[in-house]
Structure 1
Amino acid sequence: MASVPPLSRDVAGLATILATSGVIHLLRPEVYEGIVPHVLPRKRLLVHASGIAEIACAAGLLHPATRRAAGWGSAALLVAVFPANVQMSVDHGRRAARRGDTPSRATFVATLARLPLQWPMVRTALRAAGR
Protein backbone atom coordinates (compact mmCIF):
# COMPACT_ATOMS: atom_id res chain seq x y z
CA MET A 1 0.00 0.00 0.00
CA ALA A 2 1.24 3.49 -0.82
CA SER A 3 2.33 5.72 2.01
CA VAL A 4 -0.01 8.35 3.35
CA PRO A 5 0.76 11.83 2.03
CA PRO A 6 2.17 14.07 4.78
CA LEU A 7 0.19 16.86 6.35
CA SER A 8 1.51 19.71 4.24
CA ARG A 9 0.83 23.37 4.82
CA ASP A 10 -1.68 23.50 1.96
CA VAL A 11 -3.61 20.46 3.24
CA ALA A 12 -3.68 21.95 6.76
CA GLY A 13 -4.91 25.21 5.21
CA LEU A 14 -7.65 23.38 3.34
CA ALA A 15 -8.68 21.65 6.57
CA THR A 16 -8.88 25.05 8.27
CA ILE A 17 -11.01 26.51 5.47
CA LEU A 18 -13.35 23.50 5.50
CA ALA A 19 -13.69 23.48 9.29
CA THR A 20 -14.39 27.21 9.46
CA SER A 21 -16.92 27.06 6.66
CA GLY A 22 -18.56 23.97 8.17
CA VAL A 23 -19.02 25.65 11.54
CA ILE A 24 -20.56 28.71 9.89
CA HIS A 25 -22.90 26.43 7.92
CA LEU A 26 -24.18 25.01 11.20
CA LEU A 27 -24.30 28.21 13.26
CA ARG A 28 -25.56 30.61 10.57
CA PRO A 29 -27.23 28.47 7.87
CA GLU A 30 -29.18 31.45 6.55
CA VAL A 31 -25.88 32.83 5.20
CA TYR A 32 -25.72 29.90 2.76
CA GLU A 33 -29.38 29.12 2.06
CA GLY A 34 -29.62 31.85 -0.57
CA ILE A 35 -26.85 30.34 -2.71
CA VAL A 36 -28.25 26.82 -2.81
CA PRO A 37 -29.27 26.39 -6.46
CA HIS A 38 -32.91 27.40 -6.75
CA VAL A 39 -33.99 24.04 -8.19
CA LEU A 40 -32.93 22.17 -5.04
CA PRO A 41 -35.44 21.67 -2.20
CA ARG A 42 -34.89 21.72 1.58
CA LYS A 43 -32.18 24.32 1.55
CA ARG A 44 -31.61 24.35 5.33
CA LEU A 45 -31.11 20.58 5.35
CA LEU A 46 -28.63 20.81 2.46
CA VAL A 47 -26.71 23.59 4.19
CA HIS A 48 -26.51 21.60 7.43
CA ALA A 49 -25.46 18.43 5.57
CA SER A 50 -22.72 20.24 3.68
CA GLY A 51 -21.50 21.84 6.91
CA ILE A 52 -21.26 18.46 8.62
CA ALA A 53 -19.48 17.06 5.56
CA GLU A 54 -17.00 19.96 5.58
CA ILE A 55 -16.19 19.44 9.27
CA ALA A 56 -15.79 15.67 8.74
CA CYS A 57 -13.49 16.24 5.77
CA ALA A 58 -11.44 18.78 7.73
CA ALA A 59 -10.97 16.39 10.63
CA GLY A 60 -10.12 13.55 8.27
CA LEU A 61 -7.47 15.57 6.47
CA LEU A 62 -5.62 16.16 9.73
CA HIS A 63 -5.19 12.51 10.68
CA PRO A 64 -2.85 10.22 8.70
CA ALA A 65 -5.18 7.22 8.95
CA THR A 66 -8.05 9.09 7.31
CA ARG A 67 -6.19 11.61 5.14
CA ARG A 68 -6.45 9.65 1.90
CA ALA A 69 -10.22 9.07 2.18
CA ALA A 70 -10.78 12.61 3.42
CA GLY A 71 -8.84 13.93 0.43
CA TRP A 72 -11.16 12.12 -1.95
CA GLY A 73 -14.19 13.21 0.06
CA SER A 74 -13.01 16.82 0.16
CA ALA A 75 -12.44 16.90 -3.59
CA ALA A 76 -15.91 15.46 -4.20
CA LEU A 77 -17.49 17.91 -1.78
CA LEU A 78 -15.75 20.90 -3.35
CA VAL A 79 -16.98 19.86 -6.80
CA ALA A 80 -20.49 19.20 -5.45
CA VAL A 81 -20.83 22.65 -3.90
CA PHE A 82 -19.44 24.48 -6.94
CA PRO A 83 -22.96 25.02 -8.38
CA ALA A 84 -23.83 27.00 -5.24
CA ASN A 85 -20.88 29.30 -5.94
CA VAL A 86 -22.08 29.72 -9.52
CA GLN A 87 -25.61 30.45 -8.24
CA MET A 88 -24.16 33.10 -5.93
CA SER A 89 -22.42 34.79 -8.89
CA VAL A 90 -25.56 34.64 -11.04
CA ASP A 91 -27.66 36.17 -8.27
CA HIS A 92 -25.13 38.94 -7.60
CA GLY A 93 -24.83 39.61 -11.32
CA ARG A 94 -28.59 40.07 -11.59
CA ARG A 95 -28.58 42.33 -8.54
CA ALA A 96 -25.72 44.42 -9.97
CA ALA A 97 -27.52 44.76 -13.29
CA ARG A 98 -30.71 45.84 -11.56
CA ARG A 99 -29.11 48.31 -9.14
CA GLY A 100 -26.18 49.49 -11.22
CA ASP A 101 -24.29 50.81 -8.19
CA THR A 102 -20.57 50.34 -7.53
CA PRO A 103 -20.92 48.14 -4.40
CA SER A 104 -23.23 45.71 -6.22
CA ARG A 105 -20.86 45.52 -9.18
CA ALA A 106 -17.86 45.03 -6.87
CA THR A 107 -19.60 42.17 -5.04
CA PHE A 108 -20.46 40.55 -8.36
CA VAL A 109 -16.86 40.81 -9.55
CA ALA A 110 -15.66 39.33 -6.26
CA THR A 111 -17.99 36.33 -6.64
CA LEU A 112 -16.74 35.79 -10.18
CA ALA A 113 -13.12 36.01 -9.05
CA ARG A 114 -13.84 33.43 -6.34
CA LEU A 115 -15.02 30.75 -8.80
CA PRO A 116 -11.59 29.71 -10.14
CA LEU A 117 -10.22 29.54 -6.58
CA GLN A 118 -12.26 26.37 -6.01
CA TRP A 119 -9.98 24.39 -8.33
CA PRO A 120 -6.72 24.84 -6.38
CA MET A 121 -8.62 23.56 -3.33
CA VAL A 122 -9.73 20.51 -5.33
CA ARG A 123 -6.11 19.91 -6.40
CA THR A 124 -4.97 20.17 -2.78
CA ALA A 125 -7.62 17.67 -1.73
CA LEU A 126 -6.48 15.29 -4.47
CA ARG A 127 -2.87 15.61 -3.29
CA ALA A 128 -4.06 14.69 0.21
CA ALA A 129 -5.68 11.63 -1.38
CA GLY A 130 -2.34 10.66 -2.88
CA ARG A 131 -3.08 11.70 -6.46
Structure 2
Amino acid sequence: MTRRGASRLVIAALYAAAGMLHLGWPAPFVSIVPPWVPFAPQVVALTGLAELAGAAGLLQARSETIRIAAAWGLAAYALCVWPANVQHMLLDHARPGGGLGPVYHLPRLALQPVLIWWPLWAGGVIAWPFRNTNRKDPP
Protein backbone atom coordinates (compact mmCIF):
# COMPACT_ATOMS: atom_id res chain seq x y z
CA MET A 1 0.00 0.00 0.00
CA THR A 2 1.28 3.47 -0.88
CA ARG A 3 1.67 6.32 1.61
CA ARG A 4 -1.34 7.96 0.02
CA GLY A 5 -3.40 4.82 0.30
CA ALA A 6 -2.57 4.41 3.98
CA SER A 7 -3.15 8.10 4.57
CA ARG A 8 -6.55 7.88 2.86
CA LEU A 9 -7.55 5.05 5.18
CA VAL A 10 -6.52 7.01 8.27
CA ILE A 11 -8.20 10.27 7.32
CA ALA A 12 -11.32 8.49 6.09
CA ALA A 13 -11.56 6.65 9.43
CA LEU A 14 -11.14 9.92 11.33
CA TYR A 15 -13.80 11.70 9.29
CA ALA A 16 -16.17 8.72 9.51
CA ALA A 17 -15.80 8.71 13.31
CA ALA A 18 -16.33 12.48 13.44
CA GLY A 19 -19.40 12.16 11.22
CA MET A 20 -20.91 9.52 13.48
CA LEU A 21 -20.24 11.74 16.51
CA HIS A 22 -21.87 14.73 14.82
CA LEU A 23 -24.96 12.65 14.11
CA GLY A 24 -25.08 10.56 17.29
CA TRP A 25 -23.98 13.13 19.88
CA PRO A 26 -24.65 16.56 18.36
CA ALA A 27 -25.02 18.68 21.53
CA PRO A 28 -21.31 19.53 22.00
CA PHE A 29 -21.04 20.51 18.35
CA VAL A 30 -24.23 22.57 18.36
CA SER A 31 -22.94 24.47 21.39
CA ILE A 32 -19.88 25.77 19.51
CA VAL A 33 -21.62 26.82 16.31
CA PRO A 34 -21.11 30.59 15.96
CA PRO A 35 -24.28 32.58 16.68
CA TRP A 36 -24.38 34.00 13.14
CA VAL A 37 -24.90 30.49 11.69
CA PRO A 38 -28.65 29.78 11.43
CA PHE A 39 -30.25 26.41 12.22
CA ALA A 40 -27.29 25.12 14.22
CA PRO A 41 -28.70 21.60 14.88
CA GLN A 42 -29.42 21.08 11.20
CA VAL A 43 -26.01 22.45 10.22
CA VAL A 44 -24.33 20.02 12.63
CA ALA A 45 -26.33 17.12 11.16
CA LEU A 46 -25.35 18.19 7.65
CA THR A 47 -21.69 18.41 8.66
CA GLY A 48 -21.91 14.86 9.98
CA LEU A 49 -23.34 13.69 6.68
CA ALA A 50 -20.65 15.64 4.81
CA GLU A 51 -17.93 13.96 6.86
CA LEU A 52 -19.37 10.51 6.19
CA ALA A 53 -19.77 11.24 2.47
CA GLY A 54 -16.23 12.62 2.27
CA ALA A 55 -14.82 9.57 4.03
CA ALA A 56 -16.68 7.22 1.70
CA GLY A 57 -15.63 9.23 -1.34
CA LEU A 58 -11.95 9.18 -0.38
CA LEU A 59 -12.06 5.40 -0.24
CA GLN A 60 -13.38 5.03 -3.80
CA ALA A 61 -10.95 2.84 -5.69
CA ARG A 62 -12.80 2.83 -9.01
CA SER A 63 -13.61 6.49 -9.44
CA GLU A 64 -10.81 9.01 -9.38
CA THR A 65 -13.40 11.74 -9.99
CA ILE A 66 -15.32 10.86 -6.82
CA ARG A 67 -12.12 10.57 -4.80
CA ILE A 68 -10.93 13.99 -5.97
CA ALA A 69 -14.34 15.57 -5.34
CA ALA A 70 -14.35 14.08 -1.83
CA ALA A 71 -10.85 15.43 -1.19
CA TRP A 72 -11.90 18.93 -2.27
CA GLY A 73 -15.08 18.62 -0.22
CA LEU A 74 -13.24 17.65 2.96
CA ALA A 75 -10.68 20.43 2.44
CA ALA A 76 -13.50 22.96 2.02
CA TYR A 77 -15.26 21.48 5.04
CA ALA A 78 -12.15 21.94 7.21
CA LEU A 79 -11.96 25.56 6.10
CA CYS A 80 -15.65 26.17 6.77
CA VAL A 81 -15.61 24.76 10.32
CA TRP A 82 -12.63 26.88 11.34
CA PRO A 83 -14.98 29.60 12.72
CA ALA A 84 -16.62 26.99 14.99
CA ASN A 85 -13.19 26.11 16.37
CA VAL A 86 -12.49 29.80 17.03
CA GLN A 87 -15.93 30.11 18.66
CA HIS A 88 -15.16 27.10 20.84
CA MET A 89 -11.93 28.74 22.01
CA LEU A 90 -13.70 32.02 22.79
CA LEU A 91 -16.47 30.27 24.71
CA ASP A 92 -13.94 28.24 26.69
CA HIS A 93 -11.84 31.31 27.43
CA ALA A 94 -14.93 33.06 28.87
CA ARG A 95 -15.59 30.19 31.34
CA PRO A 96 -14.39 30.41 34.89
CA GLY A 97 -11.07 28.62 34.85
CA GLY A 98 -10.67 29.11 31.10
CA GLY A 99 -12.12 25.76 29.97
CA LEU A 100 -9.69 23.62 28.01
CA GLY A 101 -7.29 26.53 27.69
CA PRO A 102 -4.83 27.62 25.01
CA VAL A 103 -2.81 24.40 25.28
CA TYR A 104 -5.75 22.65 23.60
CA HIS A 105 -7.16 25.40 21.38
CA LEU A 106 -4.07 27.00 19.85
CA PRO A 107 -2.61 23.75 18.43
CA ARG A 108 -6.09 22.82 17.20
CA LEU A 109 -6.40 26.11 15.33
CA ALA A 110 -2.82 25.93 14.08
CA LEU A 111 -3.38 22.41 12.70
CA GLN A 112 -6.46 23.42 10.70
CA PRO A 113 -4.33 24.03 7.57
CA VAL A 114 -3.10 20.43 7.88
CA LEU A 115 -6.73 19.27 7.85
CA ILE A 116 -7.19 21.26 4.65
CA TRP A 117 -4.01 19.91 3.03
CA TRP A 118 -4.32 16.27 4.14
CA PRO A 119 -7.37 15.16 2.14
CA LEU A 120 -6.05 17.01 -0.93
CA TRP A 121 -2.77 15.10 -0.74
CA ALA A 122 -4.32 11.75 0.26
CA GLY A 123 -6.93 12.07 -2.49
CA GLY A 124 -4.29 12.68 -5.15
CA VAL A 125 -5.22 16.30 -5.86
CA ILE A 126 -1.81 17.68 -4.89
CA ALA A 127 1.65 16.16 -4.54
CA TRP A 128 3.28 18.75 -2.27
CA PRO A 129 5.56 18.24 -0.38
CA PHE A 130 6.29 14.68 -1.47
CA ARG A 131 6.70 15.32 -5.16
CA ASN A 132 8.99 12.90 -6.93
CA THR A 133 10.06 14.43 -10.23
CA ASN A 134 11.07 11.04 -11.68
CA ARG A 135 7.67 9.39 -11.49
CA LYS A 136 4.06 10.11 -10.65
CA ASP A 137 3.09 8.96 -7.17
CA PRO A 138 -0.08 6.95 -7.74
CA PRO A 139 -3.10 8.10 -5.73
Same fold (TM over 0.5): yes
| Residue 31 of structure 2: aligned partner | 34
SS in 1 for 2:33: coil
| Residue 101 of structure 2: aligned partner | 108
Percent identity over paired residues: 33
State the shift of 1:118 in Å: 1.7
| Residue 125 of structure 2: aligned partner | 130
Q: Distance in 2 between matches of 1:88 and 1:7?
A: 31
Please provide the CA RMSD for this pair: 1.7
Indicate how the Cα distance of structure 1 residues 129 and 77 shifts in structure 2: closer, same or farther if over 3 A, else same.
Answer: farther
SS in 1 for 2:17: helix
TM-score, structure 1 length as denominator? 0.83
What amino acid sits opposite 1:53 in the alignment? Answer: A
CA distances 1:81-126 after superposition (whole Å, capped 9, x unpaired):
111111101111111xxx2x3xx35x12212221112211211112
CA distances 1:41-62 after superposition (whole Å, capped 9, x unpaired):
2110000000000000000001
TM-score, structure 2 length as denominator? 0.79
What amino acid sits opposite 1:71 in the alignment? Answer: A
Alignment of 1:1-131 (within 5 A): 7-64=4-61, 65=63, 66-95=66-95, 99=96, 101=97, 104=98, 107-109=100-102, 110-127=104-121, 128-131=123-126
Q: Any gaps of 5 or more consecutive residues in structure 1? A: none
SS in 2 for 1:63: coil
Question: Which deviates further from its counterpart, 58-67 or 46-55?
Answer: 58-67
Kindly indicate which of the two structures has a greater share of residues assigned to helix: 1
State the shift of 1:23 in Å: 0.4
Aligned residues: 120
Q: Relative contact order (alpha carbons < 8 A, sep ≥ 6): 1 or 2 greater?
A: 1
